Amino acid sequence: MPFPKNFIFGTATSAGQIEGAAREDGRTPSIWDIFAETPGKTFGGETPAVACDSYHRFFDRDLPSLKALGVDSYRLSISWSRVMPEGVGPLNPKGVDYYRRVFEALLENDIIPNVTLYHWDLPQVLEEKGGWRNRDSIEWFGEYADKMFTAYGDIVPMWSTVNEPIATYVGYAHGGFAPGHTNEAWGNQARHNILVAHGKGVEAFRAHNLKSQIGVVIDIWKRHALTNFPEDIALMIDQDERNWKFYCDPILAGRYSDYILEHLEKEGTLMEMHPHDFELTSQPLDYFGLNVYNRVPVTVNQQAQMDFSQGGNFLNNRTEYYPKAVYDAIHLLHDLYDIKIPIYVTENGTYFEGTEPVAADGMVHDDDRIRYVSGFLEWLEKAIDEGFDVRGYYLWSLMDNFEWSAASNFKFGIATTDFATGETKWKKSAYFYRDFIKKMKA
């Protein structure tokens, strides 16, 4: 059976990865601007100062590309420090006006703006006050969210609070992401606080009595034990608990698991939690945003782990080709949480590492990406056929962009971006996606 006629096909990006104009028109730096300016933190020392220059090129380049693709929706995010340069307090009229023009232009072209409030780019001024590890961040985010609902509540039909809160943990516990701290307890506190902040955002949304919808975006990378040995099963359980379950449990079940509470307590990294926190984390949502890229095979056998990338069903970037990941994740949300709200696949895509070869016809023939996306769409269709309520799919990403620490080296786009000129050019996968959408709508 084909996708339902009202199924939403879209593409996704985020402010910090595409906008550039990092210090223009009143914007102050985000944690990613500062982190990337620190030597050794990103590929080639690249920063998001210019990125795809979408702040200047949205109307003449990105919007026409979205129209030509025929997407129903565009998922993008607001740069907090562009609209609120001090993180809290007064709004920046130039920043606020920019997004209003973007959202209006999308709507005029029948493209639904699906707007994420926080996609990893905390204002640096707030990081200087402790950032996400400071419980005040819950109030800061609540204020920001409230002001965005006042500014755009009349025109934005779909909102999400935060994108992939695991990135906050990585940024405070492991150092690979901004702000670059390496303290496990900080990481746990930061990820707890952002989950409560998410709830504060939902609460603010409800207070506005809007007709639009609000959700959250969580990435599920299900672990699979490579063998049935108890050690591998235990590792799988442990990693599932510390990864996607850490976020899904408080949001969908209103609590952390006993496993995680006991382990963090033992490890001395348990976060400060207040009784009201879980009422906030589990605020009713209108939809669940699922980011799904792959599964993660695990084993205690180091040799097997190393060998894992040497054979089998792999893409050119040596990641496993496992499109059933989307079907598994949808099942898991039902089996584990009995989820009753619609699911949107808010991100799915793959990357090329390095310089993608351009063929004699001048085009990037990214057949691996087409294979990957087709596979995921097939499994998604199967889930829908089986009766699961999935209403949309967003391909990551509209164009090559600033892939965080990997900067321009990991290319997730269905269009190339010339970072020197700001020119973008469709890859073969963009034509594929355009034709696929057309066929589904026919």
Which H or E run includes 352? strand 352-353
b/e burial code for range 73-110 (CB count within 10 A of at least 16 → b):
bbbbbbbbbbbbbebbeebbeebbebbeebbebbeeee
Residues 327-356 interacting with ligand IFM (rule: CB under 6 A): 347
46 has catalytic annotation: no
14 touching ligand IFM, by CB under 6 A:
yes
- 407/115 Cα distance (integer angstroms): 23
3-state secondary structure of 29: coil
Of 19, 46, 127, 164, the catalytic one is 164
Choosing from 127, 241, 347, 403, the catalytic residue is 347
User: Between residues 80 and 412, which has the closer beta carbon with respect to ligand IFM?
Assistant: 412
Which of 402/432 has CB closer to ligand IFM?
Answer: 402
**CB crowding 196-213: b at 16 or more within 10 Å, else e:** bbbbbbbebbeeeebebb
Q: How far is the CB of 17 from ligand IFM (least distance, A)?
A: 6
The rounded distance, in Å, linking the Cα atoms of 172 and 195 is 15
* Contact call for residue 168 and ligand IFM (CB under 6 A): no
Q: Is 396 in the site for ligand IFM (CB under 6 A)?
A: yes
Select from 403, 426, 433, 436 the one that contacts ligand IFM (CB under 6 A).
403
**Degrees, nearest 5: CA angle 393-396-397:** 130
Q: Give min distance, CB of 369 to ligand IFM, in A.
A: 13
Position 244 contacts ligand IFM (CB under 6 A)? no
Nearer to ligand IFM, 72 or 164 (CB): 164
* Nearer CB in complex with ligand IFM: 189/397: 397
Name which of 160 and 291 has its Cβ closer to ligand IFM.
291
Long-range contacts of 57-65 (CB under 8 A, 24+ apart): 57/422, 58/102, 58/105, 59/101, 59/105, 61/422, 61/423, 61/424, 62/18, 62/398, 62/399, 62/424, 63/105, 63/106, 63/109, 65/398, 65/399, 65/415, 65/424, 65/426, 65/430
Residues 169-192 as b or e (16 or more Cβ within 10 Å = b):
bbbbbebebbbbbeebbbbbbbbb
Indicate which single residue of 53, 127, 164, 400 sits in contact with ligand IFM (rule: CB under 6 A): 164
In the complex, the smallest distance separating the C-beta of residue 22 from ligand IFM, rounded to whole angstroms, is: 17
412 counts as binding ligand IFM under rule CB under 6 A: yes
Q: Which is nearer to ligand IFM, 54 or 291 (CB)?
A: 291
What distances in angstroms separate CA 321 from CA 294, 295, 316, one per listed residue? 8, 9, 10
400 binds ligand IFM (CB under 6 A): no
To ligand IFM, the closest distance from the beta carbon of 270 in angstroms equals 27
**Share in percent of the chain as helix, strand, coil (round to 5):** 45, 15, 40
What is the smallest separation between the CB atom of 180 and ligand IFM, expressed in angstroms? 17
Site track 116-155 with ligand IFM (rule: CB under 6 A), x = hit: ----------------------------------------
Smallest CA-to-CA distance from 122 within 24, 14, 270, 250 is with: 14
- Subset of residues 273 to 302 that bind ligand IFM, contact rule: CB under 6 A: 291
Applying CB under 6 A, what is the total number of residues that bind ligand IFM?
Answer: 8
| Residue list 30-59, contact with ligand IFM (CB under 6 A) | none
Note whether 370 and 322 are within 8 A (CB): no
- Nearer CB in complex with ligand IFM: 164/241: 164
Catalytic annotation on 164?
Answer: yes
Q: How far is the CB of 243 from ligand IFM (least distance, A)?
A: 14
| Site residues for ligand IFM per CB under 6 A | 14, 17, 164, 291, 347, 396, 403, 412
Q: Which residues are catalytic?
A: 164, 347
